[in-house]
A and B are shown apart, each in its own frame.
Chain A
């Protein structure tokens, strides 16, 4: 019987073939118990083969936690990750660029190995879900045969390198960054200097400073196109940003180099990688991203180290070899550019044209955005779309960080025809880039870390907004909404006008899904600033929260006032007061529907049944105490808004101590008010015993308190205060979760 390995032998590049063969051998070794589970896990992750929710063999079905007894029994593909449990396969698509043939192969794989759906991520990857580990080698071979690799798609490696979807066709770009993204992808893939990172490393390119597309300021390494006049000659280069990132504690990237010439781009990147590999945290994963190293060293010292390292980077022809072929990086449109004049317009075209069409810098051509619900499309849509692409645009397909598909080089005269064809396959929805085009991570649908259903909420918001999109004022239509299922920010909620991230609260003896509301983030200017949390609302009240916010924004905004400006002017206190009615927690008996998440009929739970006793009495006391901590945190936020960073820091610190006290008092009522006593009791009772440990972050959140308690900051600036706010928020969340786990009689 022929195998894919045999059938595709001539089409797979040798190096890729060897890597896949090695991986397949490792699968066998692991099955035989000859390869350590942790070692295999890292190897698997570096091939993009990820775990998925419930892969530890347990699932709460709404009544009780059930064991999932997979056929391979106790065999694991990593710690607590059962072999047969469905997994996710992440597939890197550098700068989102796809050919029609690649799209077809991805579609084939979706229905042969997954659930028939292709999901676009916020890093321009494709993800397939419910994939069995045994199928992954052949899946990778079929991708490799069309030039796609999953190598280093996950794990502690350089992730998919992203770039503007409009690169090469944009009116405002300094130059097309696509060939540079391609060159860096090829250079770093498997490079020795990027194999020993303590955590992942994300790189992005942007062609201009003003638009959002590249998001360079929220990346580990961001490259912003620039030119300079050197002795009368215009030379290309980049402003290099380093140390940005979202995650639990967002950091704005710092400028490492104002202008790095194109000749120095790869050597400099290599030097940054070497410094990160050498000095970055390795043991504590929660502080292992480069942003923590940059923050710890300071940008000046980090810059000095990189410059020093740069001098030790050995010569490599590849550093500049690609520059000779930059001119070969051209686009081949399927048709000559022609204007739209006189072409008949189908129904619905006008709305679609308004939101989904971008006129390219090249006369007579447009880039069109296919607005996909939740970033999903089917295998059959993929085949049809490949046909449409071939006829209208050739191989000029890109995936976007907003989880859409962009077809570039559409002749303007073809716009009505391509709209008609896209509409026929369910890919002609208007509203790209508007409030209905919501970004979301997988959340509790498939992610192991998900706390609330980001996709369920997004689907609900989208349905409601589409119903009245034509009634919405322009100012509301243009808002960005982004949703994450937890604090890890995969949905990029920090850079949305209105962001939400999942958490949970307790009401009585039940947990209730919540979303923290994050307002005022900035998508433009490459993710220019981050929003801050204003409070958490039950998941089922979030549509009401959104309506209240947008109604008031429309009613009160000054002419042309942005949402960020309005939020800032209104102030956190007033916003909190506005949202307060939506933040009340009903009891399970009164409103049981609040205790199920969007799109999930089960009574909500985030983990197995909690342990402990005397919940009823303790909960009452704890609820009062933790409310004080939350109020104090809110005061800290107000102080931050007023620019009083010292006060903000002091209040945030106090909020953490109060939260710790709330938990300590569930075991030791007479702890008193002395900060040293509280922290010592908290440390010995909950931290040293690991009772407060988060399942994934371990003791990270508790250490935020210890760090601030042990060391008064020398200098409190805005950046520091922002970070303090975020850490306090996370610490309080951690206390909530720990209390539920330790003390609660959690029945759901």
Chain B
């Protein structure tokens, strides 16, 4: 069984440039803390929007951080699970996807008509260079297991590709749902498949 990474992240990019600015995110995240809108022990909000293509605005939590992330020139909602990951990779992916989806949907609901995430595709980052070196060999080793887990999450087959060739970077994959499925159906499937039983 593949060892889970130390940290695992899932990011959904925005479909289009939003009207709201990164400045608007800190108050939203502060409100999430007040109202305990998302899961986790929410600690603080940190603002890095001044850093080009950086982590943007982050809602720091004990278990995992929610970020309005600006990295790679792509704005998106990223959830980084930092602790208490399940001890098998499919469940770890499932948990991280669930948290990311939940936060992204929440953000959409607070900025109706503006923020819209592309759920057909996701960036999955394994923040653990000891166990997940960013090499093509490691990708080949892990491809089938990750692909299978993601198919279970989406209820559809997915294709995977590495985000970076540079071996110093994190092992990061872009997953994309195969075929021409309606986005609403994908979200519905995701929500259903990720609901804890």
Which residues of A come within 8 Å of B, CB atoms?
A: 1-4, 7, 53-54, 59, 61-63, 66, 68-71, 84, 86, 104, 107-108, 111-112, 115-117, 129-130, 132, 373-374, 376-378, 380-381, 383, 425-427, 445-446, 456, 459, 462, 599-602
Contact = CB atoms under 8 A, between A and B. Distances in A.
4 interchain residue pairs of minimum CB distance: A426-B52, A601-B27, A373-B50, A116-B55
B164 to A, nearest CB: 9
B60 A130 contact: yes
Contacts of B110: none
Interface in B5-25: 6-7
B3 to A, nearest CB: 6
A116 to B, nearest CB: 5
A383 B169 contact: yes
A383 B6 CA distance: 21
Contacts of A427: 52
B130 A2 contact: yes
B197 interface: no
A143 to B, nearest CB: 14
B51 A63 contact: no
A600 B26 contact: yes
A707 to B, nearest CB: 39
B172 to A, nearest CB: 11
6 contacts: A3-B130, A112-B128, A115-B46, A380-B169, A446-B46, A456-B47
B169 A601 contact: no
Contact of A602 (B30, B53, B55): B30
Contacts of B127: 111-112
Given A86-B60, A115-B48, 15 more contacts: A63-B34, A68-B43, A68-B62, A71-B83, A108-B129, A112-B127, A112-B128, A115-B65, A116-B55, A117-B51, A377-B51, A378-B71, A383-B166, A426-B52, A602-B30
Interface in B26-49: 26-27, 30-31, 33-34, 41, 43-48
**Residue of B3, B27, B62 contacting most chain A CB atoms (<10 Å):** B62
Interface string B127-141: 111110000000000
A68 B61 CA distance: 10
A301 B55 CA distance: 54
A117 B53 contact: no
Interface residues of B, number: 39
Given A378-B55, A380-B169, A599 B47 contact: yes
B191 interface: no
A601 B53 CA distance: 23
B173 to A, nearest CB: 16
Given A1-B3, A117-B48, A599-B26, A61 B54 contact: no
A372 B88 CA distance: 40
Contact of B51 (A53, A132, A373, A601): A373
A223 B141 CA distance: 56
Given A1-B3, A62-B34, A373-B51, A383 B168 contact: yes
B60 A378 contact: no
Contact of A376 (B3, B50, B84, B130): B50
Contact of A112 (B7, B30, B48): B7
Given A54-B44, A115-B65, A380 B30 contact: no
B33 A115 contact: no
Nearest to B128: A112
Nearest to B5: A112
B146 to A, nearest CB: 19
A66 B44 CA distance: 12
Contacts of A68: 41, 43, 62
Nearest to B65: A115
Contacts of A3: 130
Given A383-B169, A599-B47, A115 B52 contact: no
A71 B43 CA distance: 13
A459 to B, nearest CB: 5
A68 B33 CA distance: 11
B147 interface: no
B18 to A, nearest CB: 19
A127 to B, nearest CB: 13
B115 interface: no
